[in-house]
Amino acid sequence: MKSSQKTIYHNEPTIGQEEIEAVAAALSNLELTIGSKVEIFERSFSKYIGINSVSTSSGTSALHMALNAIGVSKDDHVIVPSYTCIAVALPVLYQQARPILVDVKDDFNISVDEIRKNITDRTKAIVVPHMFGYPADMNEIKKLCVDTGIYMIEDCSQSIGAEYHGKKVGTVGDISIFSFYATKLMTSIRGGMVCSKDPQLLDSVKELRYHDQCRLSEDHDMRLKYSYMMSDIEASVGIIQLSKLGDFILRRREISKMYKELLEGYKIEHPPEDSYKKHVFSRYVIKTPFNPVKVIDRMRSKDIFCERMHIPPLHKRSLFNSSLSSTGFAQTDRIINSAVSLPIYPTLDDDQVVYIIDSLNEVLGDFT
């Protein structure tokens, strides 16, 4: 039987009156493009992460600029996991480089062993997403990159605020990127950020993100530039959201604890957790032995929207037929055939979470 409460969607942004007032103020100041709010947001984000930051128009443009800054060019190889958003691989193609797809581990993150097997003399970089807010094996990947002279790009689009051995994600690699799209842990409506300890890499991003910006001593036609700026409207939202991020993460962890404690057996595999990896639960993805499509359909009949993530995986998309590793994608395929993403966001109240849990227990019980 359906609940009398409103439909529970898979995800929704957490927007308050402060964000609405900030947008109105930015509009009144007439700094609609890149202005003082963008600078404030960049400084605030740099302070939060612990290294310097440059804003962009999206997470995808941030990754494109990161690849450009480290010099990825035609026919270079860039290793990326097959189980991830297509936006992780598309910027590689923008640079006329070749994304090399590799398998992941059971924790959804890219496999160090699979990276190692696919490094060649044409490998320029590795893109390491921290999937669903859970940090990847950064020490092992970093050592491999140092030993082989390959750049490591951290994709923190799903993991703002997560920590690895006491360090925030985004501070271990050579360069990192963040996304503030509406479905992320915090939002600026759209927008992204590039972070690095290397000032030269960030200077390159600053130079390339705006096609009309150039130094008088510079050859205007020397480098291809883009229109990848964040607007002051977006930055004004980002400033407020960043100030709330700690509370957002706390609530996500509270919900995750309820899921872990109250969801009954049925051979559910919960998201991984480790003492040295602080998960921020941008998604709560479980694995079950049952058909995920049927589970999702049954939950939707109860006005609860669950989802399958990253369908189809990159190795099953024709766009990447020439990018497949030789070692297969057994773990990615297992995830695709078992994973269900449950609603988890700050505006869910305890009654809604309990309804989700009771409904899922009922659905899984019917399959046993």
Does residue 152 lie in a domain region?
A: yes
Distance of alpha carbon 81 from alpha carbon 89, whole angstroms: 9
Domain boundary among 224, 239, 254: 239
The band of 1, judged by pLDDT with boundaries at 50, 70 and 90, is: very low
Q: What's the domain range around 23?
A: 17-239
Domain boundary among 202, 217, 239: 239
Task: Tell me, yes or no, whether 233 and 342 share the same domain.
Answer: no
Predicted confidence (pLDDT) per residue in 126-158, tens digit = 999 999 999 999 999 999 999 999 999 999 999
Give me the residue label for tokens 């984000």: 45
Distance of alpha carbon 61 from alpha carbon 52, whole angstroms: 18
- Inter-residue contact 288 to 268 (CB < 8 Å): yes
The identity of residue 342, as a single letter, is L
Tally of helices (H runs) and strands (E runs) in the chain: 11, 12
Closest CA to 158 of 269, 285, 319: 285
Backbone torsion region of residue 88, taken as left when φ is above 0, otherwise alpha when ψ lies between -120 and 50, otherwise beta: alpha
Question: What pLDDT is recorded for position 321?
Answer: 83
In the predicted model, is pLDDT for residue 322 greater than 90?
Answer: no
223 contacts: CB under 8 Å, gap ≥ 6: 207, 208
Does residue 5 lie in a domain region?
A: no
Within 10 Å of residue 276's Cβ, how many Cβ atoms? 10
Rounded CA Rg of the chain: 21
Task: Tell me, yes or no, whether 230 and 158 share the same domain.
Answer: yes
Predicted confidence (pLDDT) per residue in 334-358, tens digit = 999 999 999 999 999 999 999 999 9
